[in-house]
Amino acid sequence: MNIKTIIVGSLALGLAFGATVLKINSEETKAVYTPRLTNTFGQAGYAEYLNMLKADPATGKIDFNLVEQVRNEVFARSKQNNKALLGLNWIQMGPDNVGGRTRAILVDRNNPNLIYAGSISGGLFVSTNAGGSWTPIAGMQGVLGENLAISCIAQTDNGRIFFGTGSSFETGANGNGGSAFLGNGLYEYVPSSGAVVPILNNTASLPANSSGTLSVINAIATRGNRIYIGTTSGMRFADPDGGGNYPSTLGGWTNNIESVPGFPETGTCQDIDVASNGSMVVSFAGKIYTAPNDNLGSFVRRSILSGTRISCAIAPSDPNVIYMLVGNNTGNFGRLQGLEISTNAGASWDVIVPPGSFCNDPFLQNDCDPNGGQAFYDMAIAVNPADWGHILVGGIQLYEWRYASGSNPIGGSWLKAANLFESTTNPYYVHADKHTIIWPTANTVYIGCDGGVFKSSTGGTTWQEKNLGYNVTTFYDMQVAANGFFMGGAQDNGTQLFSYGAFGSPTPLGTFEISGGDGFDCAFSRFEGGIAYHTSQSGTLMRSNGGTPGTFYSSELSTLVNAGGQAFHTVIENWESADDPLSVDFIKIVIDSNGYINAIGDTIFPGDTIFAGDTIRYTSLTGGIPLYNIPTSNIIIGMPSDSFNVVDYIQSKFAFRTSQGIYLTRDAARLNAINTKWFKISGNSMTPDAGTLNSAEHFEFSPDGNHLFIGTSNGQVWRISGLSLANDSLGLDERSGSTVLTQTRIASGLGGGSVVSIAVDPNNGNNIIATAGGYSTQNHVYRCTDALTAPSTTTLGTFTAIQGVSGNALPKMPVYDAEIDYNDRNKVVLGTEWGVWTSDNAFTASASAVRWIDESGAGMAHVPVFAVEQQNLRSHTAVNSGCMYLGTHARGFYMACDLATSVNENNFNDKDKTGFITNLTVYPNPVNNAGTIAFDLKEKANTKVNIYNLSGSLVKTIDLGIKTEGNHKVKFDATSLSIGSYIISLQSGNEKNIAKFIVTR
């Protein structure tokens, strides 16, 4: 019996036009916020991780002078007007509904609807409707010494707006630089022109003003038109000259506080508060000074509780009332050391909340748990302008204190004023980690926190999130799906999914939070109807495919992760193929006792023959995806229960870093797997240098999935090979005596000590780019052309530095990620501390001739770029083929599709191709409000266009009438199309072709 098609257990795949459809429930209540303090790393883990990315590996510290040198070089290069090598036009892609860490807010003294807010690395934003929506101040781009690390904002009596940059509270408890995005002095924003003007900064020469003094301005205050700034060398102030100009060098700013007579106070100034009558309180680590004015000799040092961070607030309604909030980071790490009040301008003090109050400490994550305080990182205090006895205090939590009238000694109530339970219906929610509280009127309060801006119109009783357009989200990683969806792991804002509004986002570029905590590495799968893999700090790994996300650890991994001790950065990587020629998985097809082949279709009986050339249809172990097999020789069916094997070509590999080594599973996309099998592919049994892979910071698979490349924080690159040679623990677990794996160190010493990213050529696994973090004089970008065959080495091996020289060189700054273009290996895109840099000759030019150009573009500031991803699936598989995406650390997502060679569908199989419609394209892609359809016809015919969304619904028809042979370009109106991905079908006569495009606004 000749069976032409044999169907075995078919299950519909549910993919629209080959694009991934991710199914995630859009519930009203988001994932409950999980503060970063889930283990002993806490904020220290965050600071340690950022310090690894940014510090000089030789010293473990950030060299402020090197930062200034790079800043000046970047600025000089941006002024050269170099023509962009790759022509990337970056489009801002949100999220416009999620904020980020905010240390500064100002309400204009003349217009209560005019609000300014500053991000720690995303720049200055303005709202003209009291926080209803926000717009970035574009004038910051191209400013001398451009800096986006806003730490404080103030306004003089004549209405001028000034802001300081850089905060010592970003450095972590160790003071080594930590997570700091360093500042560059003091600036003025001029609303009438939109300009940003440098007032006091490190300009073009060193060592002038070096040593970090102007890299940190913790505080800014005004009295009249006088400006006070808090620097690492004390509090300074200056008045404008007759032309309104302030001194441009630090020497022109006065330090009028003396530690003892004749000796100026040169410690790091943490906070400055000026009362309505001109009296002052100025805070330093472990001490404060009060004064009736700022005259030399008027400041008196006060005896206070010991503490390493102090914030003070003077009551607007009574300058004699001063509150002092103290955090102790020595011993009682990050806890409340006390809250005190003075009712006589600082002459004497009363303790109103004592130290050791663990059950009501705003700096602790959990009530009555003394571990993991963050007073060094988040501290804010403000007084009700109409009631001197009512204050708000912010840390992780938000508390309020109210004076009990007539109490003696002075006392009152101390209660939580908000909670951390994030929900669209919870009026008491304020995101964790409060950094500033601004209380302009009795009823109106603004809070700047790690979740952006929150506002109360009820005097602090209820709260609303105010982040529309305040796009300062700090992403660590991002990944993109075939249907145009993308997601990213964000610091303190979980994993955010962008779906073109598919899950009901209320904003044009809104995202949906699919898990909380500090989001880190993430990945998509095209299989099982669409899967999202997402992580958070300290080894948390989740998988979503509709419903509530869940873990997929093995029992061994679950025990390991739950025991703690995992690194702050959770590292993963996913590889998959719909047609893996190296697959060693087989599907066993059994002829049952009734003579059927395990499903519907033609009946097969014992004694029948499946002839060579017949088609066998069966289903993959992954999601029941239908597969086809054409045997090359006859298959004779013998007795009942006879069987034969066919290859399962649907394959995936998923790598996960732990404290005990790297684990791999082949079951990540197999949702029906009862037990996910994980294999340990590296660890302490490795030789040589066994423990180094425990410091892995980045994974990349080779295009065929047989090799995994690893970059480590100690400057090494490893290759683990043989991943496609086995499918069980005997072959894939390094602890097995018969493992097929080989582990090879192919580079050492790259960047002086930190390989934080690897890019692999999608077309040739031998070609890779490795990049290094850290401000150092070392090289930061390397290429290798024999990565699959390079022998083990303890030196640079076959890796060549391609930093470039002179005017074409890449500044020696941290390079966080890299991507090799899917069509041309010479085109490389780097994500750096100072935006996007590109090369068009990365592999073919000599090392010294490789050129790097600043390609951040007019639409994008020099924001830190932590993730660069290209959709390297071809256009018949992905709607966004060739599009490049960025995950920035304080300006959200960006997209550019300029490297997509086309969006035509001529890669389809012959049966899917048209007879005479060729070169069907849509441009520009993405489309905004109007687009052009370009196509060639070989015959005259009646022609029509249909546009479908990804669910297959027809949303637009354009009847073009009869079109003649030749080239045609037809404009179309896209204003009626919502933001999202679309399929365009062009039919001419009996023939048709399709293409894909994206609509953005």
Across the chain, mean pLDDT equals: 86
Closest CA to 946 of 895, 988, 898: 988
Residue with more model confidence, 694 or 641:
641
- Whole-model pTM: value is 0.87
The CA angle 77-886-840, to the nearest 5 degrees, is 50
Let me know: does 479 contact 468? Beta carbons within 8 Å.
Answer: no
Residue 273: band (very low, low, confident or very high) from pLDDT cuts 50, 70, 90: very high
What does the alpha-carbon distance between residue 63 and residue 435 come to, in Å, rounded to a whole number? 26
pLDDT range class, residue 612, cuts 50, 70, 90: confident
Residues 466 and 97: their CA atoms lie apart, in Å, by 8
How would you classify residue 87: left for phi > 0, otherwise alpha for psi between -120 and 50, otherwise beta?
left
Task: Give the model confidence (pLDDT) of 559-579 as tens digits.
Answer: 999 999 899 999 999 999 999
Q: Residues with Cβ < 8 Å from 794, sequence gap 6 or more? A: 745, 748
Neighbours of 327 (CB within 10 A): 29
Place of tokens 């999980």: 34
DSSP letter (8 states) at residue 792: P
Q: Which of 788, 625, 789 is nearest to 704 (CA)?
A: 788
β-bridge pairing 800-801 and 930-937? unpaired
Read off the pLDDT of residues 313-344 as tens digits, 9 standing for 90 and up: 999 999 999 999 999 876 557 899 999 999 99
Q: Are the C-beta atoms of 100 and 117 separated by less than 8 Å?
A: no
What are the CB-based long-range contacts (under 8 Å, 24+) for 944-947? 944/986, 944/987, 944/988, 945/970, 945/972, 945/984, 945/985, 945/986, 945/987, 946/984, 946/985, 946/987, 947/977, 947/982, 947/983, 947/984, 947/985
C-alpha 539/C-alpha 558 separation (Å) is: 10
pLDDT in tens, 278-314: 999 999 998 999 999 999 999 999 866 667 899 999 9
**Of 269, 298, 390, residue with least CA distance to 341:** 390
Give the model's pLDDT for residue 42: 53
Give tens-digit pLDDT for 929-971.
Answer: 888 898 888 888 889 998 887 656 788 999 998 888 888 889 9
* 589-618 mean pLDDT: 69
Distance CA 833, CA 610 (A): 61
Dihedral pair phi/psi, residue 140, rounded to 5°: -75, -25
Compute the distance between CA of residue 580 and CA of residue 444 in angstroms, rounded to an integer.
61
Residue 274, burial from CB neighbour count under 10 angstroms (0-12, 13-18, 19+): buried
**Strand, helix or coil for residue 222:** strand
The rounded percent of the chain whose pLDDT value lies above 90 is 59
Q: Indicate the SS3 state at residue 220.
A: strand
> Six-digit token pair at 122?
């995303």
The pLDDT value recorded for residue 923 is 81
Beta carbons within 8 Å of 150's beta carbon, 6+ residues apart: 103, 104, 118, 119, 120, 123, 124, 163, 164, 165
Per residue in 437-463, pLDDT (tens digit) is 999 999 999 999 999 999 999 999 999
* Burial class of residue 533 (count of CB atoms within 10 Å of its CB; 0-12, 13-18, 19+): buried
Residue 485's pLDDT band, with cuts at 50, 70 and 90, is: very high
pLDDT at 169 over 70: yes
What burial class does residue 924 get, using C-beta atoms within 10 Å of its C-beta: 0-12 exposed, 13-18 middle, 19+ buried? middle
Neighbours of 317 (CB within 10 A): 15
The three-class DSSP label of residue 532 is strand
Residue 605 scores a pLDDT above 60: yes
pLDDT tens-place string over residues 702-747: 999 999 999 999 899 999 999 999 999 999 999 999 999 999 999 9
* Euclidean distance between CA atoms 542 and 526, whole angstroms: 16
What pLDDT was estimated at residue 633?
A: 85
Give the tens place of pLDDT for each residue, 179-194.
567 888 999 999 999 9
* Maximum pairwise Cα distance, the chain: 108
Cβ atoms within 10 Å, residue 915: 13
Residue 950 pLDDT: 60
Q: Which of 382-386, 500-504, 673-677 has the lowest mean pLDDT?
A: 500-504
Confirm if 162 and 365 have CB atoms less than 8 A apart: no
Q: Residue 903: is its pLDDT beyond 70?
A: no
Return the half-sphere exposure (C-beta side, CA atoms, 13 A cut-off) of residue 63.
Answer: 16
CB contact set of 944 (below 8 Å; sequence gap of 6+): 957, 958, 959, 960, 986, 987, 988
Question: What are 388-403's pLDDT values in tens digits?
Answer: 999 999 999 999 999 9
Cα-flanking dihedrals φ and ψ of residue 801, to 5°?
Answer: -70, 130
Residue labelled with tokens 């010592």: 168
- Phi/psi of residue 861, nearest 5 degrees: -75, 175
